Amino acid sequence: MKWFWKYLFPALYGLLIYFTIRLINDTLSYDPFWDRSWKLNAFEMFCSVVMAYIMVYALQRLFRYFDRSLATGVGYKTVLHELLWVFIVTEVSVNLLMTPMAALTDDGLSIGDAAIINVIPVMYNLIYYTVVRANKLLKAYIDKQMQLEKITNDQLQTELKFLKAQYHPHFLFNALNTVYFQMDDDIQAAKRSIEKFSGLLRYQLYDQQQTVPLSQEIQYLQNFIELQQVRTSDKLQLNVHFDSGLNGQQIYPLLLLPLVENAFKYVGGRYQLRIDARLVHDKLVFAVENNVPEHIPVKVDSGIGLENLKRRLELLYAGKSTLTTAKKGDVFHAELHINLER
With helix as H, strand as E and coil as C, how does the chain read? CHHHHHHHHHHHHHHHHHHHHHHHHHHHHCCCHHHCCHHHHHHHHHHHHHHHHHHHHHHHHHHHHHHHHHHHCCCHHHHHHHHHHHHHHHHHHHHHHHHHHHHHCCCCCCHHHHHHHHHHHHHHHHHHHHHHHHHHHHHHHHHHHHHHHHHHHHHHHHHHHHHHHHHHHHHHHHHHHHHHHHHCCCHHHHHHHHHHHHHHHHHHCCCCCCCEEHHHHHHHHHHHHHHHHHHCCCCCEEEEEECCCCCCCEECCCCCHHHHHHHHHHCCCCCEEEEEEEECCCEEEEEEEEECCCCCCCCCCCCHHHHHHHHHHHHHCCCCEEEEEEEECCEEEEEEEEECCC
Q: How confident is the model at residue 15 (pLDDT cuts 50, 70, 90)?
A: confident
pLDDT of residue 166: 52
Convert the pLDDT of each residue in 54-91 to its tens digit. Answer: 888 888 888 888 887 776 666 778 788 888 988 998 88
Convert the pLDDT of each residue in 34-52 to its tens digit. Answer: 666 778 778 888 888 888 8
Q: How confident is the model at residue 322 (pLDDT cuts 50, 70, 90)?
A: very high
Convert the pLDDT of each residue in 105-150 to its tens digit. Answer: 766 667 777 888 888 888 988 888 888 887 777 777 777 677 667 6
Domains of the chain: 2-147 (no CATH), 206-339 (3.30.565.10)
Q: How confident is the model at residue 323 (pLDDT cuts 50, 70, 90)?
A: very high
| Cβ neighbours, 10 Å, residue 141 | 15
Q: How confident is the model at residue 25 (pLDDT cuts 50, 70, 90)?
A: confident
243-279 burial, b for 16+ CB within 10 Å, e for fewer? beebeebebbbbbbbbbbbbbbebbbbebbbbbebeb
pLDDT of residue 136: 77
Whether the per-residue pLDDT at 202 is higher than 70: the answer is: yes
Whether the per-residue pLDDT at 328 is higher than 70: the answer is: yes
Convert the pLDDT of each residue in 211-222 to its tens digit. Answer: 889 998 898 888
Helical H segments across 184-242, by residue range: 187-204, 214-231
pLDDT of residue 287: 95
Convert the pLDDT of each residue in 222-266 to its tens digit. Answer: 888 887 777 676 788 999 999 988 888 898 888 898 898 888 888
pLDDT of residue 67: 80
pLDDT of residue 300: 52
pLDDT of residue 268: 84
Convert the pLDDT of each residue in 259-293 to its tens digit. Answer: 988 888 888 888 899 999 999 988 999 999 999 88
